[in-house]
Amino acid sequence: MKLLMSLLAGSVFGLGLIVSGMADPSKVLGFLDLAGNWDPSLAFVMGGALLVGSLAFPFAAKRQQSLLGEAMRLPIATKIDRRLVLGGLTFGVGWGLAGYCPGPALVSLAQGGAKPLLFFVAMIAGMLVFELLERISARSHKKAG
């Protein structure tokens, strides 16, 4: 059941990205082009997501389990630190250069083409580099402690 619900949720998310045009990197780049031919449609998509999230999170925060019986794991961090800022900047630069973030990249990858494939490979490489650096950092902290 969990796998089926995951597939359903992912399919609805992917369909929403396609219908809203957010799987098209030119729409994203048009939104980021404030000095040129600005396309505000992504702002409306983000606003809709914020509205749904702002209504759903208060209910989710009161629950101990999801509707499928899984433990609720909502974010608890409240501190803005160097890692968060650097991660956000890295994400933003990649988003601005390619016009993709992970969700739309996967949808575009399924649609085919070289650009989403290249982005996907770079995204996986970035994740692997991050994991490697995390392991190196954990080892150095173990040796120092």
Q: What does the pLDDT look like over 20-30, one tens digit per residue?
A: 888 888 888 89
State the distance between the two ends of the chain, measured CA to CA, in whole angstroms. 44
The whole-model pTM stands at 0.72
Q: Classify 65 as helix, strand or coil.
A: strand
Domain containing residue 35:
2-144
Tens digit of pLDDT for each residue in 70-82? 898 888 888 999 9
Query: For the chain, what is the domain count?
Result: 1
Contact between 30 and 37 (Cβ < 8 Å): yes
Please give the Cα distance from 23 to 111 (Å, whole number): 10
Q: At what angle do helices 114-144 and 102-111 cross, to 10 degrees?
A: 140
How far CA 145 is from CA of 69, 134, 136, in Å, comes to: 38, 16, 14
Considering only the C-alpha atoms of the chain, give the largest distance between any 2 of them, rounded to a whole number of Å. 54
